[in-house]
Chains A and B, each alone.
Chain A
Amino acid sequence: MPSSTSYPPSSSERALEVHHLTGPASAPIIFEIEIFVARGETLLVLGPIQSGKSMLMRHLVGLECAASGTIAVDGEAFDPTKPEDKALRRLRSRVGVLFEGSALLRRISVLENVELPLLEHEHSSRAQARDAARELLAEVGIQVDDDTMPVQLGRAGQRRVALARALALKPRLMLLDEPTLGLDSPAAHEFDETLHAVQKKYDFGIVIFSHEIRHAYTPANQIDVLAGGRIVARGTRESLLKSDDPVIHGLLHRRERE
């Protein structure tokens, strides 16, 4: 992990830059969001359930139409208020996404899941895609037969496959929605290690959206606290631990029994 740098990072190395993002246009749930992630660094967006984390992530990949704001991925701007096909396609080829619950396609095999983006975007042949998929899976520590289906892997395995799938197009930015939700602690810990190993190798920015406080104890360079659709605090773990704000305190500290 690179050591913590100044905030916000200089514009040349920004993997993600979001200004004044409010949305969705129909009925806003997130307001005036400002976030930055440098390449090779990790941002944790910490917030209680229903605070708008998933909605924020959906905006970043153009699944929702924003009311206002700007988004730039790897230096290239993208207008979230009117997502058009060409820009979306370019944006999405630079962003890897791991949805809550993995969201693997259940009807096709694990290998086919990882092959799919390669075949669509890289115009590689079937054999090349299969080799590349095996390699990616090996990188996240998964070995499968040709016909292993996602359900056969269990939750932790599926999460790794989803990570391999998100890695397939060599993204500049990786978005993870509740990546370790429902995993037991050793599995969650191993997942974190794998994630950081691949981040080191490919040098992408990471944004983790979670309500789990355990992520604050993994090497996140920056923590943004999201509550009620707004970023209410930001800082490092140490600075946030000292905060007196009741929301932040409630998120970071175990409440003592009275």
Chain B
Amino acid sequence: MMSLPVRSSDVGSRTPRSSTFLTGEWSVGTGVTRLGGRFLSRGRVALGALHWLSWIIVSPRSVVSGGVARELDTLGVGALRLVGSASILVGLIATFQVAYQLKQYGAESVSALAIGWFATREVGPLVVALLVVTRSASAIAGEFAAMTSGGEIDALRVMGLDPVKYLVAPKLAALFVALPALTVIADGFITFGGWVGTTLFLGFNSRFYLEQIRTSLSTSDIATGVAKSLIFGFVIAIIASDEGLSVDRRVTAIGEAASRAVVYCLLGVLAADTLVNAILYFIPALVL
């Protein structure tokens, strides 16, 4: 990717994000200032979005709520097929991996236990988050970047309409609903994939598999996964929106914003997951 020279007349008062992090022209000094600016602007978007989110909950008949339904349709319902099919494959992969590892200890028969536990606590929410990042983070950032370069964001601001309220808050609300729902669905499909794998290829009995899944799964595992997915939804909505809203007004900025959004969302989701896992490991009392 090539970064284009930016003329001051193109830019406006907002400092544009250049893509030096992606192109490799990156030094510690500029990196630190950029990182600082990025955190500040993410923080502003996050606070604003949470503020307006509560507003959406309080007055569900507002203008913005129509937007929530539409976002839910694109971000959630639209991802069903992808999440479903990917989850079945993940279930199959998990079966083979787990069975292969456990075989060495002669414990192949407990692989269903491991699948159920691993799927709901870790793989389910993470796979869903990564799928939503690849599918929607670029779309969100691209949409907002196109609106910025087309002057729509400025038009909103000039009419006294806060873009965070009208654009980001509905996306955040939709992801807060869609991600946990998709996670539960993915849990189901991964378990189904595991069932297909264990019965068809490993020769287990269906009853045995389901029995094991039932003993291994507890409500707290599913709740942990759902809680994680809420955090991932927040990370995705804020990073992707912020990347889209803080581009300058060049057309090439749209693609750059989209690819930056995917990169930072992936990193953000993985970082958040690491953090949550570390906290749950070191403070086991927090495990629901």
Q: How far is the CB of A169 from chain B (nearest CB, A)?
A: 8
B60 at the interface (CB under 8 A from A): no
Cβ B9 vs Cβ A120 within 8 A: no
Q: Besides the contacts A103-B151, A106-B152, what 8 more A-B pairs have beta carbons closer than 8 Å?
A: A52-B9, A58-B12, A97-B155, A99-B155, A105-B147, A116-B159, A116-B166, A121-B160
For the complex, what is the distance from the CA of A88 to the CA of B161, rounded to whole Å? 11
Could you mark each residue 76-87 of chain B with 1 if its beta carbon is under 8 Å from any beta carbon of chain A, else 0?
000000000000
Question: A103's contact among B8, B70, B155, B161, by CB below 8 Å, is which?
Answer: B155
Size category, A interface: 35 or more
Chain A residues with CB below 8 A from B147, complex form: 105-106
Q: A29-B8, A119-B63, A120-B159 are in contact. Are A103 and B13 (CB under 8 A)?
A: no
Q: A24-B12, A50-B9, A116-B159 are in contact. Are A101 and B63 (CB under 8 A)?
A: no
Binds B, one of A60-68, A191-199, A200-208: A60-68
Cβ A92 vs Cβ B13 within 8 A: no
Q: A50-B9, A116-B63 are in contact. Are A61 and B156 (CB under 8 A)?
A: no
Question: A63's contact among B9, B143, B152, B158, by CB below 8 Å, is which?
Answer: B158
B36 at the interface (CB under 8 A from A): no
Of chain A, the residue at the smallest CB distance from B70 is A107
Cβ B160 vs Cβ A103 within 8 A: no
Of chain A, the residue at the smallest CB distance from B63 is A119
Q: How far is the CB of A100 from chain B (nearest CB, A)?
A: 7
For the complex, what is the distance from the CA of A105 to the CA of B158, rounded to whole Å? 13
Cβ A89 vs Cβ B160 within 8 A: yes
How many residue pairs, one in A and one in B, have C-beta atoms under 8 Å apart?
72
Which residues in chain B, 97-119, are within 8 Å of chain A measured between CB atoms?
A: none
B44 at the interface (CB under 8 A from A): no
Q: A50-B9, A64-B12, A119-B63 are in contact. Are A101 and B150 (CB under 8 A)?
A: yes
For the complex, what is the distance from the CA of A101 to the CA of B157, rounded to whole Å? 16
Q: How far is the CB of B66 from chain A (nearest CB, A)?
A: 8
A117 at the interface (CB under 8 A from B): yes
Cβ B158 vs Cβ A27 within 8 A: no
Of chain A, the residue at the smallest CB distance from B160 is A92
How many B residues face the partner with a CB closer than 8 A? 20
Chain A residues with CB below 8 A from B158, complex form: 61, 63, 92, 95, 97, 99
Cβ A117 vs Cβ B152 within 8 A: no
Cβ B13 vs Cβ A25 within 8 A: yes
Q: How far is the CB of A146 from chain B (nearest CB, A)?
A: 13
Which residues in chain B, 1-20, are within 8 Å of chain A measured between CB atoms?
A: 8-9, 12-13
Cβ A100 vs Cβ B151 within 8 A: yes
Chain A residues with CB below 8 A from B13, complex form: 24-26, 63-65
Q: A63-B158, A116-B63, A117-B160 are in contact. Are A105 and B12 (CB under 8 A)?
A: no
Chain A residues with CB below 8 A from B151, complex form: 99-101, 103
Cβ A103 vs Cβ B152 within 8 A: yes
For the complex, what is the distance from the CA of A25 to the CA of B15, rounded to whole Å? 12
B154 at the interface (CB under 8 A from A): yes
Q: How far is the CB of B172 from chain A (nearest CB, A)?
A: 17
Cβ B12 vs Cβ A92 within 8 A: no
15 contacts between A and B (CB under 8 A): A27-B8, A29-B9, A58-B12, A63-B158, A65-B13, A92-B160, A93-B160, A97-B155, A103-B150, A104-B152, A105-B147, A106-B147, A116-B63, A117-B160, A165-B159
Cβ B154 vs Cβ A103 within 8 A: yes
Cβ B9 vs Cβ A55 within 8 A: yes
Chain B residues with CB below 8 A from A116, complex form: 63, 159, 161, 166
Chain B residues with CB below 8 A from A63, complex form: 12-13, 154, 157-158
For the complex, what is the distance from the CA of A50 to the CA of B7, rounded to whole Å? 11
Which interface residue of B143, B157, B159, B161 has the most chain A CB atoms within 10 A?
B159
Chain B residues with CB below 8 A from A105, complex form: 147, 152, 155-156
Chain B residues with CB below 8 A from A119, complex form: 63
Could you mark each residue 90-132 of chain A with 1 if its beta carbon is under 8 Å from any beta carbon of chain B, else 0?
0011010101110111110000000111011100000000000
Which residues in chain B, 153-171, are within 8 Å of chain A measured between CB atoms?
A: 154-161, 166
For the complex, what is the distance from the CA of A100 to the CA of B160, rounded to whole Å? 18
Q: How far is the CB of B7 from chain A (nearest CB, A)?
A: 9
For the complex, what is the distance from the CA of A101 to the CA of B147, rounded to whole Å? 12
Chain A residues with CB below 8 A from B156, complex form: 105
Which interface residue of B70, B155, B156, B161 has the most chain A CB atoms within 10 A?
B155
